[in-house]
Amino acid sequence: QVRLVESGGGLVQAGDSLRLSCAGSGRTISTYAVGWFRQAPGNERELVATISWSGSTTLYTDSVKGRFTISRSNSGNTVYLQMNSLKPEDTAVYYCAAPRSQYTMGRGDRYEYWGQGTQVTVSS
C-alpha cells in the first residue's frame, strides 16, 4: 500500500521558515504526484500545493505563492514543502496526499492516499 508520512512541523514565529517533508513508506511515491493540503480548526481542508510525478510541474494556492515552494528529492520518494515568511494564517495541520493513479500531473487529480498530518503553528 502507498503510505505517506509527514514531518517537519513545529511552533514558529511569524516571519520564520519551516520545511515539511513527505516520504513514501512501504512503497515508493516516486511515480506519484503529491499534494500538500492544510486544515485549520473550524475550516475545511484546502489545497496548498501540488507537484507532478516527475517534479516538472507545480501548482500553488494564491495565498502561499512567493512564500512556499514544493519540490521533490532526486529519488522522487520525498516531497518537500519549504515555507518561508510564515504568517499566523498558515497555522494548520498539514497533510500530504497522493492520487490512486501513477504518472499524473498533480493538478486536477483525485487524491486517495493521505498521511497523518503534521502541525504547523505560527505565532504573531
What is the pLDDT tens value at each position of the chain, 124 positions in all? 789 999 999 999 999 999 999 999 989 999 999 999 999 999 999 999 999 999 999 999 999 999 999 999 999 999 999 999 999 999 999 999 999 999 999 998 999 999 999 999 999 9
Contact in structure between 22 and 4 (CB atoms under 8 Å): yes
Per-residue confidence (pLDDT) for residue 1, from 0 to 100: 79
pLDDT of 115: 97
Please choose, from the candidates 7, 39, 29, the residue with its C-alpha nearest in 3D space to the C-alpha of residue 113.
29
CA 90, distance to chain mean position in Å, is 13
Compute the distance between CA of residue 43 and CA of residue 30 in angstroms, rounded to an integer: 31
